[in-house]
Amino acid sequence: MEYQRPLTPEESRRMSLVTGVMWLITFATSIPALWLFQPLLDNPAGYVVGAGDHDNRILLGAFLELLLIISNIATAVIPYPLLKRQHEGCALGFVAARIVESTFILVGILSILTVVGLRTSPPSGVGEDTLGSIAYSFAALKDWTFLLGPGFVVGVGNGLLFGYLMYRSGLVPPRMALLGLVGGPLLIASGVAVMFDVAEPGGTLQGLCTIPEALWELLVGLYFTFIGFRPSPILAGTPRPEGGSLGTPAVSRA
């Protein structure tokens, strides 16, 4: 058995508050960024040869996604010292999943900025048709990074791994944690369906399958920010449980 130093109420509240705020920032940055990119993603060929009316909008979206990367990683790194008391492998896997997701997001940002660069400083001797084809390729790359990162890896990390950690530790109500354990597989399944052309990207199926995962992440952010961690043995520094089944979450000893 491995004993840990108990967290004081002040330490617990500070960790939950900062973690919760980081989760809320992921919402405040990811959703507007996707909307801001639409003029380029909807018509990359027209954008790259256009007058640049949407340049500032696109650059703002890229900046928001940079903030998204920071907050994404923070949601896993900040509570890691606590979550590893429950299951070190899952806690480390959650950190890794967040980094992989953020890597996909970064590649998407670079693809968007490349199209902006093609518009502002087009290569000499390259016709509009060629520029349009190049822009379309980079826009397609952005779409794939969204599918593989937020549309797939999130289901593994935020849904399954983080949901399992929350369910077993009891840091949030068990029924709330079940949203992650259900939403994660649904998000993965919808991503696979889109990848194999069974469903439309951003279509009804993918949209419906995204709702439980999105609700799970929003509730986590709100719960940690305004309520804090639910009383749990891992806050008190008791030995982390060995083994156990999914059906037996940690019970508060408070």
24 found inside a domain = yes
Question: Shortest CA distance to 201 belongs to which of 152, 135, 133?
Answer: 152
Over residues 160-185, the pLDDT tens digits come to 999 999 999 999 999 999 999 999 99
Over residues 216-232, the pLDDT tens digits come to 999 999 999 999 999 99
66 found inside a domain = yes
167 found inside a domain = yes
Calculate the average pLDDT of the chain: 92
In this prediction, residue 250 carries a pLDDT of: 54
**63 contacts 28 by C-beta, under 8 angstroms:** no
1 found inside a domain = no
82 found inside a domain = yes
Q: What is the DSSP letter of 37?
A: T
How many separate domains does the chain show? 1
250 found inside a domain = no
Task: Give CA–CA dist 109/139, Å, rounded.
Answer: 10
**191 contacts 156 by C-beta, under 8 angstroms:** no
130 found inside a domain = yes
**Confidence label for 254 from pLDDT (cuts 50, 70 and 90):** very low
In this prediction, residue 75 carries a pLDDT of: 98
In the chain, what percentage of residues exceed pLDDT 70? 92
- Domain span holding position 76: 9-236
Residue 242 scores a pLDDT above 90 = no
Q: How far is CA 104 from CA 107, 155, 160, 178, in A?
A: 5, 14, 19, 27
Task: Give CA–CA dist 80/86, Å, rounded.
Answer: 10
| Residue 175, token pair as written in the block | 């029924």
What is the sign of the dihedral through the CA atoms of 121, 112, 59 and 18? negative
